[in-house]
Amino acid sequence: MKQNDTTLNTLLNSNKIKLSTMSSDEIGDEHFSTGIDTPMKANAFVMSDEEKIEKIEYHFREIMETMGLDLNDDSLKGTPNRVAKMYINELFNGLNPANKPKIALFDNKYQYDQMLVEKGISFYSNCEHHFVPIYGKAHVAYITSGKVIGLSKLNRIVNYFSKRPQVQERLTVQIARELQSCLGTEDVAVIIDAKHLCVSSRGIKDESSATVTSFYGGKFKEDRTRQEFLKYIDLKTQY
Ligand SMILES: [Zn+2]
Residues 196-225: tens digit of each pLDDT: 999 988 888 988 899 999 999 999 999 999
Residue predicted with more confidence, 83 or 1: 83
CA 236 to ligand 1 centroid distance, Å: 31
Task: Provide the pLDDT confidence category of residue 14 given band limits of 50, 70 and 90.
Answer: very low
Nearest CA to 29 out of 206, 198, 233 is that of 198
Kindly list the structural domains of the chain, giving each domain's residue range(s) and its CATH number in brackets, ordered by start. Answer: 2-98 (1.10.286.10), 104-234 (3.30.1130.10)
Three-state secondary structure call for residue 2: helix
CA 15 to ligand 1 centroid distance, Å: 16
Task: Provide the pLDDT confidence category of residue 62 given band limits of 50, 70 and 90.
Answer: very high
Catalytic positions are: 127-130, 168, 196, 198
For the segment 146-160, the average pLDDT, to the nearest whole number, is 94
For the segment 19-48, the average pLDDT, to the nearest whole number, is 80
Burial letters 46-80, b for 16+ CB under 10 A, else e: eeeeeebbeebbeebbeebeeeeeeeeeeeeeebb
| pLDDT tops 50 at residue 124 | yes
Is the overall model pTM greater than 0.95, yes or no? Answer: no
pLDDT of residue 19: 57
Three-state secondary structure call for residue 200: helix
CA 149 to ligand 1 centroid distance, Å: 33
Say which range, 7-11, 44-48, 75-79, 223-227, has the weakest mean pLDDT: 7-11
